[in-house]
Amino acid sequence: MASSVDTAFTGSVAQLYERYMVPLIFEPYAVDLARRVAQASPRRVLELAAGTGAVTRQLAVMLDASAAIVATDLNPAMLEEAARIGTERRVEWRQADAMQLPFGDAAFDAVACQFGVMFFPDRPHAFAEARRVLRPGGLFVFNAWGPIGANEFADAVTDALASVFPQDPPRFMARTPHGYHDPARIAQDLSAAGFTGTPAIETVAFTSRAVSPRIAAVAYCEGTPLRGEIEARDPDGLQRATLAAEAELARRFGDGPIEGRIEALVVTAMSPAR
């Protein structure tokens, strides 16, 4: 279960997340997820945990001009950054908790969620809310990061921080973003939420690229809730931790532009007929 520290995408973290993390690891999956939604030709789409709008911006381009997009997130700072960047056409930005969606039954043709389900405190309950707001036969599509060992930059940063804080290593990346990757468990949670069909669960891999180890280190240490874990252990330790992450990334991938594998599960489920 994600802690309050794990979900703290606040203040400058939201801006650093958009500047560094989105191009580093989120952009290719945003394109992939939006394409899957667009293929269903929905007229009304709800996005959960929209963050700074990586998927939202893709949906605004790929969906039919008549389709309505409602993009939600629990964290106001993330939505403010998303709205500041903007989209190709009108999107309704709305703060909302995926555990208690402020929408009527069968209000949407599709519900999408990019790398948000790992943060939900009760996934079957959140999935049941998604099913409730979907029309019969509606599409629910989301992704979740694979094991941390299959996501090379995240793995390197986590190992580096364990050397900085050996008595209490920050484990945010392994615990939360990379903590929900068992297909059987995902299928079980969807079933408990009332999705009756067999979900399609596909492993999708891309290559993450950064112009330098420094950029990747800043992305992870300062543009995610990992920052809160570091500062909780040492209020003045952020620079030291970032330098350690940079050194480990350089050791593994080189001093210039670097590349590493990223891997996620993409899950598609259909709302049952009522």
Distance CA(204)–CA(222), nearest Å, equals 26
**Structure tokens, 134:** 């979907």
Point out the least confidently predicted range of 5-14, 92-101, 106-115. Answer: 5-14
CATH of domain 12-270: 3.40.50.150
pLDDT mean over 90-114: 98
pLDDT at 56 over 90: yes
Task: Find, among 269, 112, 111, the residue nearest to 196 by Cα.
Answer: 269
Strands 258-270 and 200-210, by their bridges, are: antiparallel
pLDDT at 87 over 90: yes
Model confidence band, residue 97 (pLDDT cutoffs 50, 70, 90): very high
Token look-up 């390197």 returns 156
Domain boundaries, the chain: 12-270
Contact call for residues 36 and 63 (beta carbons, < 8 A): no
Token look-up 């929905």 returns 42
Distance CA(181)–CA(118), nearest Å, equals 9
pTM across the whole model: 0.93
Contact call for residues 193 and 269 (beta carbons, < 8 A): no
Task: Find, among 112, 62, 55, the residue nearest to 78 by Cα.
Answer: 55
